[in-house]
Structure 1
Amino acid sequence: MSAIAASQRPLPWTARQAREDRSWVVRMSDAEIQGMRDALNHARTLGKPLLDMKQADFPLNEAARGVLKRAIDITQGGWGMCLVKGFPVDEWTEEESRLAYWGMSLYMGVGRTQNRASEFMNDVRNEGGEYKVKGGRGYNTNAGLDFHQDSCDVVGLLCRRTARSGGTSKVISSIALYEAVQQQRPDLIAVLKGTFFHSYQGTQDPSQPPYYRCPIFGSHPESFSARTNRKNTDAAQRDFAELPRLTPAQLEALDLLDALMPSDELCFTMELEQGDMQLLNNYVTLHSRTPFEDHEEPDRKRHLFRLWLAVPGSQPLPDDWKEYYGDVRAGSVRGGVRGSAITQAFLGYEKRQAAALGMLFETWRPLVQQEDMARILAGHAASQSETAAA
């Protein structure tokens, strides 16, 4: 077992290491696969809405439960990523695959809402959306994506259909990225740990401002964390004139990240095959994908199911990440974007699921509301004026 695989904490890795050491890949056994089939067959007979389901409604055998726990544990350790292969999606309809994936999630974490419609499971497929526009998101387009993290502890993708060409997944270690910045431009580390404003792209709760503050690199004394999405940082500058402008040092730091992330040394590529589940720890990895071309037949078009999960074994986050994540305690229910259509069914589900998994849970409330942000920006403007006058 490699040093990375054996580690109980995330470590930096290079593209070469990910190619040569495949300990982050899990191939399911026949017993594990059969456990998924049997649980789905039971769940189908119940006809329950997804948000009403409990683990007992998707009764996995010990082997199947074990492989899901092992996969999540791998994301919290050395690699920060896991690829589980062998889900029999070729045997299942689209709705059966959706039901099965949700049933599996009941053993992995608490699902988080992902968009302005407050959906808790997204279909990643080309539905004619646009990426780099106001309010644009990547999951409903066929565009290549910037490197980014999703807004949760772990993002999970279950691949139901592959593209005719393209759609290659790219992953890098954000710890290795930090080390590369430290080696090349140590003066920019402090810049990247400072305040950056990012656009919510319309996914915020109506009580929240349309943007939030979060550093690129976290400052927790024990746990590494990174969060970057250049598209949303640029959108905040483009769409909101009241925000402070990025400084020359901030622009230089973001440009350096853009140069480093796709490099051959850091960027590992993988093809997600039918029946693969990719799990990524969003604090210690970043991901993107290449553009893709679809098949003509509707049921052969590229299609993945996406879950955003808060997981029981998650790390603590820096205090200044609370504005965005809502809770920074290890093992807490956090993350997601609220959107404007949260239902009572979802609120009941997340509280019940947190209790089932023994996770810390606080009822969500906005930590920064629109009026709070107005005061923050007024104070910032006043400070800038005093500095200029001095």
Structure 2
Amino acid sequence: MPIATPRPLTQGQSDVSLDLVQPYSNFPLKVTGPTVWKAEDFRSKPDLWKKQWSAEQIRDLEQAYDRFKESGKPITSITKETFPLSNEIAEFLADIRSQIVDGQGFILIEGLPVESWEVEKSAALYLAIGTHFGNTLSQNGKGHVLGHVKDLGNDPTQIDRVRIYSTAARQFFHTDAADIVGLLCLHKAKEGGESDVVSAHNLWNVLQAERPDIAEILTQPIWYFDRKGEVSQGQNGWVQKAVFYFHDGKVLSNYDPYFVRSIGRHVEAGLIPGLSEKQKEAIEVFEQTAQRLSLHMVLKVGDIQFVADTHVFHARTAYTDYATPAPRRHLLRLWLATPESQGGWKRPFPDSAHDKRGGIQVNDQAETCPLDAE
């Protein structure tokens, strides 16, 4: 059983601070800079977004794990201090982090030898790597700071109660409730389960040029996101937000169509308004445009993908697993907060200055690190 240790709680999702929401007229017509990229530029230059672990780095990681293992500490205790990595690795990760936080917003690091490691070793090293990007966040009502993207046989059509990562269904372009999301591939699917990423700022620019009416409605805080039952005492079953924000001189994004589409029971109860025809159109135009502009990639076993939820949308194709007894597709997931104190972007939410902003927190549920999906 996973061992929980007392740690600061994740802040959890909250409504946007309406007094900080800028009107569409204040948004830039066009975003410029390194956060704006086109898929065709990256397809021809994989060195811009693919990194590899060296043999020396792998050796250093394994030695760091051996020291941590000897300490007897549980993996829920992993921090930079309890699981120190070599200076060379720290510098390698710091360079990647800067590209995630203030650059193109995604990176693929290839080559962890997870096929020869037990799951606990892969999980511990992945958590240790993640601490160099931000603070771990609870990803669900069970307090999982180590998530497992794996098909548990759940029905993906039951979107008001099922999280799509626990199914084999397609995931449309979205962000998570974090600043950075990381995925480590332990096992691939037989078919599918491949990744797509798109620059939210390039997407914004294209919408501004082609469909400014859609861009405008996406900046309005009229979007209700379902909590899917992961609700603390005294909270509503939803949060109210926009999709795009202009805050502190930056365009930020936050969106997941599954959470937007699953609000029906709240609408039927007369608690919130349903989606307007214009909002439904915006959802379709958003997805079609993101698909058109996206970069496709395949995560091999041992690859880590890091994506900035502030300015990149990501998606996944549906997949089919190998027949039993072959292992099912299995990715370890991290949600990470990069707060203002660590150089993260300011956000128009009440928890912007907190070290563990975002995530999902139900009451006082402590952090847990299960080693398999549950």
Q: TM-score normalised to the size of structure 1?
A: 0.79
Task: Give the equivalent residue in structure 1 for 2:245.
Answer: 218
Q: Is 1:287 the counterpart of 2:314 in the alignment?
A: yes
Task: Give the equivalent residue in structure 1 for 2:277.
Answer: 248
Task: Give the equivalent residue in structure 2 for 1:21.
Answer: 45
* Kept after mapping to 2: 8 A contact 1:27/1:84: yes
Q: Deviations over 1:292-332 (max 9, x none)?
A: 12223556321111010012231112x2xx1xxx4224x84
* Kept after mapping to 2: 8 A contact 1:28/1:67: no
* Kept after mapping to 1: 8 A contact 2:257/2:283: yes
Task: Give the equivalent residue in structure 1 for 2:10.
Answer: none
Secondary structure of 2:250's counterpart equals coil
Task: Determine the C-alpha separation between the residues in 2 that align with 1:194 and 1:56.
Answer: 42
Q: Is 1:208 the counterpart of 2:235 in the alignment?
A: yes
Task: Give the equivalent residue in structure 2 for 1:379.
Answer: none
User: CA 1:209–1:300 in 2, change beyond 3 Å: closer, same or farther?
Assistant: same
Task: Give the equivalent residue in structure 1 for 2:301.
Answer: 274
* Kept after mapping to 2: 8 A contact 1:113/1:339: no
State the 1:172 CA deviation. Answer: 1.0
**Aligned match for 1:106, one of 98, 121, 131:** 131
Secondary structure of 1:296's counterpart equals coil
Q: Map 1:309-388 onto structure 2 (within 5 A).
A: 309-311=336-338, 312-317=342-347, 319=348, 322=349, 326-329=350-353, 332-340=355-363, 342-343=365-366
State the 1:140 CA deviation. Answer: 1.3
Q: Is 1:78 the counterpart of 2:103 in the alignment?
A: yes
User: CA 1:42–1:299 in 2, change beyond 3 Å: closer, same or farther?
Assistant: farther
State the 1:39 CA deviation. Answer: 0.8
* Kept after mapping to 2: 8 A contact 1:203/1:340: no
User: CA 1:298–1:206 in 2, change beyond 3 Å: closer, same or farther?
Assistant: farther
Task: Determine the C-alpha separation between the residues in 2 that align with 1:307 and 1:165.
Answer: 24
Q: In the alignment, residue 111 of structure 1 is paired with which amino acid? A: T
Task: Determine the C-alpha separation between the residues in 1 that align with 2:89 and 2:151.
Answer: 31
**Aligned match for 1:261, one of 280, 290, 305:** 290
Task: Give the equivalent residue in structure 2 for 1:383.
Answer: none
Q: Is 1:147 the counterpart of 2:173 in the alignment?
A: yes
Moved over 6 A (4+): none
Task: Determine the C-alpha separation between the residues in 2 that align with 1:302 and 1:255.
Answer: 29
Q: Map 1:7-86 onto structure 2 (within 5 A).
A: 10-22=34-46, 23-86=48-111
Task: Give the equivalent residue in structure 1 for 2:23.
Answer: none
State the 1:336 CA deviation. Answer: 0.2
Task: Determine the C-alpha separation between the residues in 2 that align with 1:293 and 1:132.
Answer: 17
CA RMSD of aligned residues (A): 2.1
Q: Deviations over 1:141-196 (max 9, x none)?
A: 11111111010000011111111221111111111111111111213322111121
**Any stretches of 5+ residues in structure 2 without a counterpart?**
1-31, 369-374
* Kept after mapping to 1: 8 A contact 2:224/2:240: yes
Task: Determine the C-alpha separation between the residues in 1 that align with 2:42 and 2:83.
Answer: 33
Task: Determine the C-alpha separation between the residues in 1 that align with 2:289 and 2:242.
Answer: 18
Task: Give the equivalent residue in structure 2 for 1:168.
Answer: 194
User: CA 1:273–1:200 in 2, change beyond 3 Å: closer, same or farther?
Assistant: same
Highest relative contact order (Cα 8 Å, sep 6+), 1 or 2?
2
* Kept after mapping to 1: 8 A contact 2:140/2:230: yes
Q: Flag the structure with larger Rg.
A: 1
* Kept after mapping to 2: 8 A contact 1:35/1:63: no
User: CA 1:62–1:184 in 2, change beyond 3 Å: closer, same or farther?
Assistant: same
State the 1:341 CA deviation. Answer: 5.5
Q: Is 1:130 the counterpart of 2:155 in the alignment?
A: yes
Task: Determine the C-alpha separation between the residues in 2 that align with 1:342 and 1:146.
Answer: 29
* Kept after mapping to 2: 8 A contact 1:237/1:243: no
State the 1:103 CA deviation. Answer: 2.2
State the 1:221 CA deviation. Answer: 4.6
User: CA 1:11–1:53 in 2, change beyond 3 Å: closer, same or farther?
Assistant: closer
Q: In the alignment, residue 94 of structure 2 is paired with which amino acid? A: K
Task: Determine the C-alpha separation between the residues in 2 that align with 1:303 and 1:48.
Answer: 25
Task: Determine the C-alpha separation between the residues in 2 that align with 1:218 and 1:88.
Answer: 40
Whichever structure has more strand as a proportion of its residues is 2
Percent of aligned positions that are identical: 27
Task: Give the equivalent residue in structure 2 for 1:187.
Answer: 213
Whichever structure has more helix as a proportion of its residues is 1
Q: In the alignment, residue 149 of structure 2 is paired with which amino acid? A: V
* Kept after mapping to 2: 8 A contact 1:32/1:67: no
User: CA 1:313–1:129 in 2, change beyond 3 Å: closer, same or farther?
Assistant: farther
Secondary structure of 1:172's counterpart equals strand
* Kept after mapping to 1: 8 A contact 2:267/2:273: no
Task: Determine the C-alpha separation between the residues in 2 that align with 1:277 and 1:48.
Answer: 25
Task: Determine the C-alpha separation between the residues in 2 that align with 1:203 and 1:171.
Answer: 27
Task: Determine the C-alpha separation between the residues in 2 that align with 1:214 and 1:96.
Answer: 38
Q: TM-score normalised to the size of structure 2?
A: 0.82
